[in-house]
């Protein structure tokens, strides 16, 4: 993991803002200064946290790929190959040389590097604002590691080695530059500890900007985390902090489309902000999933048919019937020119669904009746006439698919439940070989392709790194 630590701290930290902070951690000997000298004010730390958020904005992370990839790797979407983007994900044709694996690995560790500078600073600062900033750093470190273990850990692979999680890095440019992979259980425990440290340090009074991770976003992410680790009591408790805060409601059907079209999410707890001067440009989300320009990613007929005709969420999808019928996600991301749509990391509706799923899976007393009530409430809020007859875990999963489509959840939701990846037919006119198994059969749960390969550059740089099963040759 030697390449993880090759980022230096710039001298002018206090000048870092959301706009124009893409280069704050680029290697530069001229700007390299000891962190104990550079980090001396609240402004310095705030600049670093803004920089960490900006790294998450990257098109190879939340700016596009971390949302698009897991949906293309599921029954929600597929790549048409029109500009050869997301074909690898659609085919599950991962190799150690793929940019998708390398970009995911390298850039999340860049976020972790910045978070560690903040967490381990020796500034001597204190106070509520200071605690909140350090709490943000713990939260971002937890979020980055959580994404890494989801993509690269062996927990989804049948017979996967429980010692092959990911390195949990807690220092910056000191100690062991060649860390081995921590055990899966250790990684998940450390993630939970970091989220809890964040929650303990942060104060809701600082939740003034949905574009910066805040206290309620941390509680929402905890509800997600506890679903992954199977602690359903804790998932319900974390979700209840958000639900009972009185700060959020389910957006009604009449307002859903316009809320998405405004460029901000419906009751987001945390979203990454893009503006006219700081955006993904041609690599934006809308350009890859709408017809315009690249247009590589289409929704499946299977996803479209899963919605009731009166469900307003179906209207977020557009069916193009001129020529070959295409189904496009047009409503959640609308700016395909430069990409000023904010990217939602966690929304209130997900927290609602996290609690419903935790109830369904805990299944104590009236839990499943409450889960049934919750998903019916969400369905009705979206204008759907569907009334769920039970609160079983797979029923909640069905409602999650409808609400969270094209937000990067579907592949991992199926994996969490130990399910195969369905392979619904893709539309006529799309070339063969652009979906795994050429539309025949599912990708069975436990297949080695449920985990990405460790990038070749990392394998070459770190003698302690071990490759994932299936990618050894």
- Cα dist from 191 to 228, 229, 376, 405, 416, whole Å: 11, 10, 32, 25, 17
- Listed as own residue / partner, the contacts of 120-124 with beta carbons closer than 8 Å and 24 or more positions apart are 120/35, 120/170, 120/171, 120/172, 121/35, 121/36, 121/39, 121/45, 122/35, 122/36, 122/39, 123/36, 123/39, 123/40, 123/41, 123/44, 123/45
2-461: which CATH number, 1.25.40.390, 2.40.10.10, 3.40.640.10, 2.30.30.30? 1.25.40.390
Distance between CA 63 and CA 278 in Å, rounded?
Answer: 11
> Can you give the pTM of this predicted structure?
0.92
Tell me the residue ranges of DSSP E strands in 55-204: 77-79
H/E element, 189: helix 184-201
Distance between CA 341 and CA 98 in Å, rounded?
Answer: 27
Tell me the residue ranges of DSSP E strands in 81-184: none
List, for residues 12-34, the tens digit of each pLDDT value.
232 333 333 333 333 222 233 44
- Report the candidate in 231, 434, 219 with the shortest Cα–Cα distance to residue 348: 219
Which parts of the chain sit beneath pLDDT 70?
Answer: 1-37, 175, 263-266, 473
> Around Cβ 463, how many Cβ atoms within 10 Å?
9
Q: Roughly what angle, to the nearest 10 degrees, separates helices 393-404 and 348-362? A: 170
Residue 138 has a pLDDT of: 98
Residue 371 tokens, joined: 């889960």
Cα dihedral across residues 63, 66, 72, 77: positive or negative: negative
List, for residues 42-82, the tens digit of each pLDDT value.
999 999 999 999 999 999 999 999 999 999 999 999 999 88
Q: What is the DSSP letter of 127?
A: S
> Around Cβ 391, how many Cβ atoms within 10 Å?
23
Distance between CA 8 and CA 5 in Å, rounded?
Answer: 8
CB 178 within 8 A of CB 157: no
CB 118 within 8 A of CB 41: no
H/E element, 297: strand 297-299
Q: What is the DSSP letter of 453?
A: P
């Amino acid at each position: 993991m030697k390449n993880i630590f090759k980022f230096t701290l710039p001298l002018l930290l206090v000048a870092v803002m959301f706009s124009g902070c893409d280069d704050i951690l680029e290697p530069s000997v001229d700007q390299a200064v000891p962190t104990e000298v550079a980090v001396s004010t609240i402004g310095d730390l705030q600049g670093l946290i803004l920089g960490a958020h900006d790294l998450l904005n990257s098109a190879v992370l939340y700016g596009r790929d971390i949302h698009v990839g897991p949906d293309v790797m599921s029954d929600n979407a597929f790549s048409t190959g029109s500009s050869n983007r997301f074909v690898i994900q659609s085919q599950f044709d991962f190799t150690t040389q793929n940019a998708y694996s390398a970009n995911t690995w390298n850039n999340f560790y860049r976020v972790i590097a910045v978070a560690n500078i903040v967490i381990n600073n020796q500034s001597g600062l204190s106070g509520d604002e200071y605690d909140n900033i350090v709490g943000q750093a713990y939260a971002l470190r937890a979020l980055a590691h959580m994404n890494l273990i989801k993509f690269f850990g062996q927990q989804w692979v049948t017979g996967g080695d429980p010692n092959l999680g990911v390195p949990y890095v807690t220092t910056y440019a000191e100690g062991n530059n060649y860390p081995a992979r921590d055990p899966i259980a250790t990684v998940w425990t450390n993630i939970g500890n970091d989220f809890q440290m964040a929650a303990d340090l942060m104060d809701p009074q600082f939740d003034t900007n949905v574009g910066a991770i805040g206290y309620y976003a941390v509680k929402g992410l905890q509800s997600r985390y506890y679903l992954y680790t199977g602690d359903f009591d804790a998932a319900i408790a974390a979700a209840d902090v958000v639900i009972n805060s009185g700060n959020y409601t389910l957006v009604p059907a009449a307002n859903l489309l316009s809320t998405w079209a405004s460029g901000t999410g419906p009751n987001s707890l945390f979203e990454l902000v893009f503006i006219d001067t700081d955006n993904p440009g041609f690599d934006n989300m809308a350009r890859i999933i709408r017809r315009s320009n690249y247009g590589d990613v289409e929704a499946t007929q299977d996803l479209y048919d899963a919605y009731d005709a009166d469900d307003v969420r179906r209207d977020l999808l557009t069916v193009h019937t001129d020529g070959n019928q295409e189904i496009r996600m047009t409503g959640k991301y609308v700016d395909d020119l430069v990409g000023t749509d904010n990217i939602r990391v966690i929304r209130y509706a997900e927290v609602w669904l996290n609690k419903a799923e935790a109830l369904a899976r805990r299944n104590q007393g009236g839990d499943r009746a409450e889960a049934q009530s919750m998903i019916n409430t969400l369905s009705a809020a979206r204008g759907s006439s569907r009334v769920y007859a039970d609160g079983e875990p797979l029923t909640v999963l069905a409602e999650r698919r409808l609400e969270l489509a094209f937000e990067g959840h579907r592949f991992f939701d199926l994996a969490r439940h130990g399910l195969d990846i369905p392979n619904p037919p893709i539309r006529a006119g799309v070339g063969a070989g652009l979906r795994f198994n050429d539309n025949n059969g599912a990708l069975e749960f436990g297949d080695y392709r449920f985990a990405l390969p460790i990038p070749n550059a990392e394998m070459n740089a770190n003698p302690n790194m071990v490759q994932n099963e299936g990618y050894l040759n």
